[in-house]
Structure 1
């Protein structure tokens, strides 16, 4: 019975497909030029399609008679009758829309007729914004990025002809250096339920040159032009963009009535939208308003550098809406046109999303959104054939896109075979740059041997004098989910004549079915040198420079003979925990050299024992520490072979506990230290973003606390900024170290984005942004430290933006006048290069 029903169903589907009416054609203007992404609709329905960039379209209909309307922003709609049961060619030629400017009565205040029209749109803004309570739709996405000129130079360096040709071949470009560098097609089924439930099922995805490409786990959003503040996509502007239909739009925009025209029995008003002020997150362009219904029929809006857009140069948004019921208009197609210039490389593109089989405001069961899976892929999503895409694709491929698939897919097969053959051949990075900065490496199969770079291997301090560290590492990847590493650090101080060696073993295990769900184990043993504050507030290289040039030996060291074990677990759902055990024999160290480049600077040198701390005495310490952290609200994408988490915008809560255990192998440590903290980033749209970290802690027991176990501030006495939300940028390194019963520590930063600086001519063109905030520690009324700062961030050019400069005032207990200083930050890249830790640990 089941087989019979399946056969009948197949025959019915086959019959329906065999006798379907397929309409094909091209859409051009009056000169014969293609009208890219024009819309063709079956009149009286929401069924339709979009043309490709060359103006060609394909539309599937049922057999019989139909009325087609072809529409393009700024052009007259053309209607044609079709009747058939096979493939039929229907071409459309559209003429520019003739706008009729009616006689209007100009009021005494000289108000343009666009203003009363936009008032009525804004009055109904909230209705249209919240109109769609549920939505189900099939969505087809095609995204293309094209190189617009030959790559002749990179980062200011002119490339040789052979290198230019190699780049062309590697990217699959033509002889002129133009061509497609990214091509993606994706078909998904999307469901939405107000206010915020979403689910995306990726049925199929195809990326040129990468058969394993996964595309977008969630589709580019349907941009709600009626929202007061519009977020188009990540990375463009954290403040969002102000809609032309914003409730306070007249404070931001000027409107000009350009005329009206009839489309069927509806009058469409064309209105020009212009920002009142430059360098605000505002659009420029045109909106088309349906008279009497006061709804957008289409929009054509552009963002540019004067809109404070980031990472790209311009972005044009085109949307076309269709009526599906009385007073209900829904999106039919959306196209985004990005243009960017990266280091002299000009790229432009288009991302078309077409919507079909829409169901609006119909009941959707909450079971559709059950669990925390926001997106899932069909098991064969990346394995669909070219024939499958030919039958599914609602928008024909352009000529160069057809070629790109053919060339890139063949190139991928060739490169994959070549990589497989080369994988057995050792690869080496043994150049001068590798030895100096990144570290030389040799890789053979699953094994990688490496050495620490010289920049972090040769250093100078007043305790060891010139010291050299030979760091050797072996990584072995058992498989994609299991890897272990063995590292040996050999360190010798030429002034104190001490050799230290530390052996480390680390093992990581990744759940193959759940990315981010991992176990990590670590073992350490040997003798080594550590800073009194184990969070390493100053790096060896910076300390070396300050010591040699200024006689300021900020780094304070001790020696430990130790054994450590730690284990950490991440559940891949926002929860993670760690446990560590350590036994150390801690020994004090003293300065053994006073060498500086200038004898005058020697008077600035200080003992290795900070004067603000108790005397460091040799002792043994058995310590256990534990931490747990949780961020609620994580959601997931179910890929064909694994689940991948997506973190939320919720706060991160963390608790830590450290216990010094006495009388174990003569351990003298006897203390209980705790801390709890919350860290959060709050997006405030036009007001920017507020980041904060607040923590409290203290010692429940402090019978014996070694200096490394005290509560230390992450201080800073150099001109280079330490990691933000973690540091006190002017605080002396050990002045506020303590064993207090209770303390409170807080860090807050307000990132204003373009707010305020967009009023300053120089800064608004440079896209430099204001940042301000405060760091504070409070123990009691007689022991506190606070600093306030204001600075500029986003310093740099184009997409290379990592600089920040702050002016800081520090207020200390018992001190009348604040200390004032400037700190320069270069972000994560420099911190990693210099070995700066950006940890939140205690």
Structure 2
């Protein structure tokens, strides 16, 4: 049993099935039904005494490949008596059907009184005693996998957010007149290898409805190891993972009830009901079936709900069936996961089944399979298999609506693809009124696109320029799919200081044809423009505009420079990236030229454009050169049919930066050596949440002449909106701690509790809002330091729209006895990008 990392999106969930690649001589087919003739969905059918098995489809139909000869075939389903039939492939011509009756349970003769305990407890105590043995039992594992994953819409409202969908819209989505239908369907056949901590998946073939070029899932959804203390099932639905019913401290979390026992062959199986002791904990409810004397799970039927602290799904059901390889060694035969979610009135329900064949346990695997950090590789013909191929290897028959979905959507894909090819060759124009006002008006002709920024993004106000307008014109030329160049001209005029500035930017990007994520870029800048004294841009022009006009707080401090700059960037696609630049700048100070605010009383709050504590800004020339290098070890790769893609690791990210001010070049006055080294990391603590930290050491080897723009500026914040947390100080004045000292230290740490503690508070546990604690520290010397501590709530929102965060922050500054107190509201990465909020240092 193994656990794999797996990622879930808002529109579909992922899981799968193991399959055999051995050569068989016969195929038996049939149906598994209950006592009333109703199909038992995903029942297990296995060749007795082997690991050769399959699962039925949603209607109970199955298909199993077996060698020629006489074999005993067993059909089993949780809660029903298993049935075994002898099958002779030489004489068997018709369907091999199984009719299963409900399992009759026998109660042990145990009297439960006020001082006794339910007989389930001694059984589970023995299972827990052997938990670690079973968790660590599988050292190596090799198997074939077949996946069939389907996501259906069970109900669809007539309107979504006020918009009514027509019958044609529903039909294009694959829905019938009642609003039901398949929205995602995939079958995939892979070979999987694991040895110790090394894993490799070979994707042999895949078929995705409506997308013949689909890439499916490069790495399999997890085979949930029920014997681990804590496991995620699917990454993305819980930041804390879920507590196993066999957890070492399970009696602190679960109640158990003995439901009875029954004989399955010569094995006694105990059925035990599992119930959480407390609501709003990451716990399961359902049933586990324990093999007597071996104290191992024969199968599990467990369910998670919103009260289990899932972030995105409403319910998730996990079913697993195991088969014995030998005494005390049971491996998973099939796994089914049923996710259900309701979003904006649309109810999604999935069934993702993985079936395993040709399992080899604890046998040596050739190390050549685990080479070059490749965790998954696709066969070059993975997408090209004919329908006859799938019909010959598919162990789980398709349901009728699945057959129809493949036919209809594959045909529609061919039609739409031919339409899109013709559209690509044509030109397009987007010059409507709303585009000019809110969006980005554009004209495309072949490989060239001309555009400009919207009017609303082109008008601003500050106390230096007063009302200012910017006309931004863009030209993008696409050389091919991986190479393009981009030219931008920014024209800016300040009506109060009567300054016209123009800046030209040229960018060339070349992406590797084969290695996704590997690229290099060339940037060339030239002209005269207005910039913030702190080049990391701690406050956006829009937010500064609001604070200036409404409250008289002109936090943004500006200067003007004429310059030329060349920057070369390279990402090797292996966790290592770097950039280098050279520039020559003529820098000029700017002064406030207007004191306009909405209220005259607020004008007294306005401050000079040059921060008083930084001294006088001198007009000077600066010749600069520098580089930045970043490395994260442990990256792994996936080899798709036509390209290779890197996968980030969980290791720390190390970054080094260096900038040199070069004196006496064309009257350059700058003379300094500025450096910094950074380490950033995220540490998962499972039930206790996670810790994120960023540590920085830096300073100036040489500070003979450091211009104000070159100083070390704190990434401060004086607005109610929080700046990106691990890069900023939430209460620090923007330029209070600017310096050119030899050495400084900076640290940021956050503890995201991810529901721990708040799941004990009645209101918050239903909202699923989580506690977060943080601290930020800057230390220059014993007379100059600053520290913050904060506590807040995050994950504010509902369903998939969870981005809000609110913190109460206390700031402690050297020389001040009382801390400053403030509240900061975080908007999340997406809104930070929309508002143009910087997320970190610029190189």
Q: Quick check: TM above 0.5?
A: yes
Instruction: Tell me the equivalent position of 1:730.
Output: 731
Instruction: Tell me the equivalent position of 1:37.
Output: 42
Is the Cα contact below 8 Å between 1:678 and 1:695 reproduced in 2? yes
Instruction: Tell me the equivalent position of 1:413.
Output: 414
Q: CA deviation at 1:81?
A: 1.8
Instruction: Tell me the equivalent position of 1:123.
Output: 129
Deviations 1:206-227 (A, max 9, x none): 1000011111110011100000
| Match among 48, 71, 75 for residue 70 of structure 1 | 75
Deviations 1:120-159 (A, max 9, x none): 00000011101111110000011000011234222x3141
1:408 counterpart SS class:
helix
The aligned runs of 1:319-358 (5 Å cut-off) are 319-358=320-359
2:646 counterpart SS class:
strand
Return 5+ residue gaps in structure 2 as ranges. 1-20
Is the Cα contact below 8 Å between 1:579 and 1:624 reproduced in 2? yes
Instruction: Tell me the equivalent position of 2:116.
Output: 110
Is the Cα contact below 8 Å between 2:789 and 2:811 reproduced in 1? yes
| Match among 88, 95, 102 for residue 94 of structure 2 | 88
Q: CA deviation at 1:757?
A: 0.5
The aligned runs of 1:130-169 (5 Å cut-off) are 130-154=136-160, 156-159=161-164, 163-169=165-171
Q: CA deviation at 1:483?
A: 1.2
Separation in 2 of the partners of 1:377 and 1:691? 35
Instruction: Tell me the equivalent position of 2:18.
Output: none
Is the Cα contact below 8 Å between 1:423 and 1:444 reproduced in 2? no
Is the Cα contact below 8 Å between 2:535 and 2:842 reproduced in 1? no
The aligned runs of 1:201-600 (5 Å cut-off) are 201-431=202-432, 433-600=434-601
Is the Cα contact below 8 Å between 1:716 and 1:728 reproduced in 2? yes
Deviations 1:77-119 (A, max 9, x none): 1121221336530111111111111211436623111000000
- Specify whether residues 657 and 114 from structure 1 end up closer, same or farther in structure 2 by C-alpha distance, changes over 3 A only: same
Separation in 2 of the partners of 1:434 and 1:232? 44
Q: CA deviation at 1:522?
A: 0.2
| Match among 190, 193, 197 for residue 192 of structure 2 | 190
Deviations 1:510-554 (A, max 9, x none): 111111111011000000000000111111110010000000001
Is the Cα contact below 8 Å between 1:68 and 1:79 reproduced in 2? yes
Is the Cα contact below 8 Å between 1:256 and 1:271 reproduced in 2? yes
Task: Determine if the alignment matches structure 1 residue 743 to structure 2 residue 748.
Answer: no
Deviations 1:526-584 (A, max 9, x none): 00000000111111110010000000001110000010100011100000111011111
Is the Cα contact below 8 Å between 1:21 and 1:87 reproduced in 2? no
- Specify whether residues 165 and 15 from structure 1 end up closer, same or farther in structure 2 by C-alpha distance, changes over 3 A only: closer
Structure number with greater CO (CA < 8 Å, separation at least 6) is: 2
Separation in 2 of the partners of 1:705 and 1:59? 76
Separation in 2 of the partners of 1:366 and 1:518? 31
Separation in 1 of the partners of 2:336 and 2:181? 20
- Specify whether residues 58 and 87 from structure 1 end up closer, same or farther in structure 2 by C-alpha distance, changes over 3 A only: farther
Q: CA deviation at 1:431?
A: 4.5
Superposition TM-score, scaled by structure 2 size: 0.96
Q: CA deviation at 1:444?
A: 3.4
Separation in 1 of the partners of 2:246 and 2:434? 54
Separation in 2 of the partners of 1:657 and 1:599? 45
Q: CA deviation at 1:176?
A: 2.0
Instruction: Tell me the equivalent position of 2:781.
Output: 780
Task: Determine if the alignment matches structure 1 residue 49 to structure 2 residue 50.
Answer: no
Is the Cα contact below 8 Å between 1:456 and 1:541 reproduced in 2? no
Is the Cα contact below 8 Å between 1:40 and 1:69 reproduced in 2? yes
Q: CA deviation at 1:47?
A: 1.0
Separation in 1 of the partners of 2:648 and 2:69? 51
Which stretch shows the higher mean deviation, 324-333 or 116-125? 324-333
Number of matched pairs: 822
Separation in 1 of the partners of 2:445 and 2:290? 64
Superposition TM-score, scaled by structure 1 size: 0.96
Deviations 1:737-777 (A, max 9, x none): 00011000000000000101001111110010000010110
Separation in 2 of the partners of 1:629 and 1:209? 40
Which stretch shows the higher mean deviation, 366-375 or 586-595? 366-375
Separation in 1 of the partners of 2:455 and 2:770? 36
- Specify whether residues 41 and 726 from structure 1 end up closer, same or farther in structure 2 by C-alpha distance, changes over 3 A only: same
| Match among 162, 183, 200 for residue 181 of structure 1 | 183
Is the Cα contact below 8 Å between 1:151 and 1:164 reproduced in 2? no
Is the Cα contact below 8 Å between 1:376 and 1:637 reproduced in 2? yes
Q: CA deviation at 1:15?
A: 14
1:387 counterpart SS class:
helix
Task: Determine if the alignment matches structure 1 residue 760 to structure 2 residue 782.
Answer: no
Is the Cα contact below 8 Å between 1:456 and 1:834 reproduced in 2? no
Q: CA deviation at 1:432?
A: 5.0
Instruction: Tell me the equivalent position of 2:807.
Output: 806
Deviations 1:345-374 (A, max 9, x none): 110011111000011111112222122001
- Specify whether residues 109 and 794 from structure 1 end up closer, same or farther in structure 2 by C-alpha distance, changes over 3 A only: same
- Specify whether residues 428 and 32 from structure 1 end up closer, same or farther in structure 2 by C-alpha distance, changes over 3 A only: farther
Separation in 1 of the partners of 2:93 and 2:138? 36
Which stretch shows the higher mean deviation, 304-313 or 82-91? 82-91
Separation in 1 of the partners of 2:443 and 2:750? 43
Separation in 2 of the partners of 1:47 and 1:710? 69
Instruction: Tell me the equivalent position of 1:717.
Output: 718
Separation in 2 of the partners of 1:57 and 1:23? 8
Instruction: Tell me the equivalent position of 1:172.
Output: 174
Is the Cα contact below 8 Å between 2:22 and 2:358 reproduced in 1? no
1:828 counterpart SS class:
helix
- Specify whether residues 72 and 610 from structure 1 end up closer, same or farther in structure 2 by C-alpha distance, changes over 3 A only: same
Q: CA deviation at 1:335?
A: 0.5
Separation in 2 of the partners of 1:665 and 1:87? 93
Instruction: Tell me the equivalent position of 1:3.
Output: none
2:102 counterpart SS class:
coil
Separation in 2 of the partners of 1:342 and 1:184? 22
- Specify whether residues 320 and 557 from structure 1 end up closer, same or farther in structure 2 by C-alpha distance, changes over 3 A only: same
- Specify whether residues 293 and 15 from structure 1 end up closer, same or farther in structure 2 by C-alpha distance, changes over 3 A only: closer
The aligned runs of 1:603-642 (5 Å cut-off) are 603-642=604-643
Q: CA deviation at 1:67?
A: 1.2
